[in-house]
Amino acid sequence: MTHDFDVLIVGSGLAGLSAALHLATTHRVAVLTKRTMTDGASGWAQGGIAAVLAEGDSFDAHVNDTLVAGAGLCDLAATRFVVENAPKAIAWLRGLGVPFSLEDGQLHLTREGGHGARRIAHVTDATGAAVQRTLIDVVRATPGITLFEHHTLVDVITARKLGLPDQRCLGLYALDEVTDEVVTFRAPQTILATGGAGKVYLYTTNPDTATGDGIAAAWRAGCRVANLEFIQFHPTCLYHPHAKSFLISEAVRGEGGRLLLPDGTRFMPQHDARAELAPRDVVARAIDYEMKRHGIDCVHLDISHQSPAFLHEHFPNILARCAELGIDITQQPIPVVPAAHYTCGGVLTDLAGRTDLPGLFAVGETACTGLHGANRLASNSLLECMVFARAAAQYIAAEPAAPMPELPQWDDSRVTDADECVVISHNWDELRRFMWDYVGIVRTNKRLERAAHRITLLQAEIQEFYANFHVTRDLLELRNLVQVAALIVRSAQLRRESRGLHFSRDYPKLAAPAAPTILVPAAV
């Protein structure tokens, strides 16, 4: 079966849905998502969206804060482009009905680590969930958008793979989990908005869908990737045996939360003059250092000096979730540990979201636009999704429709059903454990070599499985995670310095000049 559309969008987070809404009035748009519309990472975002909206703040200040956090690797043009389009993005969301928190009738702006001013528009402490609910409702009511839930990307289809002369993206193959068939989608324009790859690590704040699908597919299609060594570890993930990947928002520290050792000693001022308001990489390394130095399982984040009324107003979801687990944050500190949170690198794009492959775009966490550099500034991620979704949509809207050739159907006539799916689960577990141990917050040459060796063995095993058995979502996700893991390790090995989120014991100092890590795939 072949589905024909003007634009294919893979991913139903803020980036994908924003692009769909910008295009729906003029194009037939398909949105594919591998689970349901609500299962992406956007809905998990607590803090908010950064934008210059207050008196006394400025675009230059927001740009400068982003550049400082990015440790010299942010692209200035991309940073300014995003920052200057931020107020328009907030206004667009408000026009759609997103219920931002207000104070005296005006947007309430909070402050987060790395920001020199209050510029975070938010919906209490569940901004992502509120934005996603609003956009999903609007998308479902918008003619011109067709939703395909439970469709997992297998690969994009390129002209070169079909033996055609003009290299471009022609569509994609996707596994329909309802029918258990691989379906063909054809369109002159495809947008990858599949999110990051946090599930490559054992401990992550990401949902189970964050398996690097778009990054891996674009790489296989011949697109360059950049800066994949820069994996942001959020400093404060709730530490509790019954809490799966629950993030304690940056805004808790922004509103005065203090990080403490189990005996109540505050430690951040000894690590950085900005203390708890230092960028995430600094705070995550400080926590990692203190945990290793003292042999402790976690540290504590204390916000109990704020009034219960303040905490109920500003952090109702964090308060409620902690209360479910027997932690009263109005009276006691929150046990926290770092966890893999955000993929700062990704598929290399320009300011219109274009990749190296004509007809293929990447938007959101899947992409490397140059905004984040070596470390993402808090609350710039949802902003990037919206700005580049609009930019990609505007570029596509101005493009004449390209003639489309017939596409072959997926051929699985020579494969069989897998006899031992336990291989997939074991490989998945092994990958995530050694990536956490060897390619985590602090790295060494020896650890990276060990990881690279294990990845090579896994890739051969997984490729044999992929070639001989019917595809499943678990197999596709594992194939993508192992590919992204290989790219992360290669990127880390090439960076012989410590910068931003990449900290190497073998190369503890900065090197000059600052330069991105760009990987180029072999000709495909």
CA distance 325 to 195: 29
Pinpoint the residues of the chain covered by CATH 3.90.700.10: 235-341
CA distance 274 to 495: 27
Per residue in 368-415, pLDDT tens? Answer: 999 999 999 989 999 999 999 999 999 999 999 888 999 999 988 888
Residue 146: per-residue pLDDT: 98
Residue 432: per-residue pLDDT: 93
User: Phi-psi bin for 519: left (phi > 0), alpha (psi -120 to 50), beta?
Assistant: beta
Angstrom CA distances, 206 to 105, 134, 234, 269, 324, stand at 34, 21, 10, 29, 21
Residue 1: per-residue pLDDT: 83
Q: Is 280 a catalytic residue?
A: yes
Percent of the chain with pLDDT over 90: 82
CB distance 234 to 341 below 8 Å: yes
Residue 110: per-residue pLDDT: 92
**CATH code for the domain defined by 422-508:** 1.20.58.100
**CATH code for the domain defined by 2-229+344-398:** 3.50.50.60
Least trusted range by pLDDT, from 292-296, 308-312, 328-332: 292-296
Partners of 29 in beta bridges? 7, 145
CA distance 280 to 300: 16
CATH class of 235-341: alpha beta
Q: Which of 44, 45, 58, 128 is nearest to 86 (CA)?
A: 58
DSSP string of 280-330?
HHHHHHHHHHHHHHHT-S-EEEE-TTS-HHHHHHH-HHHHHHHHHTT--TT
Residue 125: per-residue pLDDT: 81
Residue 402: per-residue pLDDT: 81
Query: Does residue 510 carry a pLDDT above 90?
Result: yes
Residue 225: per-residue pLDDT: 98
Band (292; pLDDT cuts 50, 70, 90)? confident
Band (241; pLDDT cuts 50, 70, 90)? confident
Q: What is the CA radius of gyration of the chain?
A: 22
Cα dihedral 389/251/285/367 (nearest 10): 0
Pinpoint the residues of the chain covered by CATH 1.20.58.100: 422-508
Partners of 509 in beta bridges? none
Percent of the chain with pLDDT over 70: 99
What is the average pLDDT value for the chain, to the nearest integer?
94
Residue 298: per-residue pLDDT: 92
Query: Does residue 19 carry a pLDDT above 70?
Result: yes
**Beta-sheet pairing, 29-33 with 145-149:** parallel
Per residue in 53-101, pLDDT tens? Answer: 999 999 999 999 999 999 999 999 999 999 999 999 999 999 999 999 9
Please give the model's pTM, rounded to 2 decimal places: 0.91
DSSP string of 136-201?
HHHHHT-TTEEEEETEEEEEEEETGGGT-SS--EEEEEEEETTTTEEEEEE-SEEEE-----GGGS
Band (524; pLDDT cuts 50, 70, 90)? low
Band (420; pLDDT cuts 50, 70, 90)? low
Residue 41: per-residue pLDDT: 73
Residue 149: per-residue pLDDT: 97
- Torsional sign, CA 367, 368, 374, 379: negative
Per residue in 428-477, pLDDT tens? Answer: 999 998 998 899 999 999 999 999 999 999 999 999 989 888 999 999 99
- The residue annotated as part of the active site, out of 280, 390, 479, 495, is 280
CB distance 333 to 301 below 8 Å: yes
Q: 3-state SS of the chain: helix, strand, coil percent to 5?
A: 40, 20, 45
DSSP string of 464-516?
HHHHHB---HHHHHHHHHHHHHHHHHHHHHH--S-BTTB-BSSS-S--SS---
What are the tokens at 440? 């985590």
Phi, psi of 12 (to 5 degrees): -120, 25
Pinpoint the residues of the chain covered by CATH 3.50.50.60: 2-229+344-398
Cα dihedral 216/219/224/227 (nearest 10): 20
Residue 419: per-residue pLDDT: 67
Helix axes 473-494, 445-468, angle to 10 degrees: 150
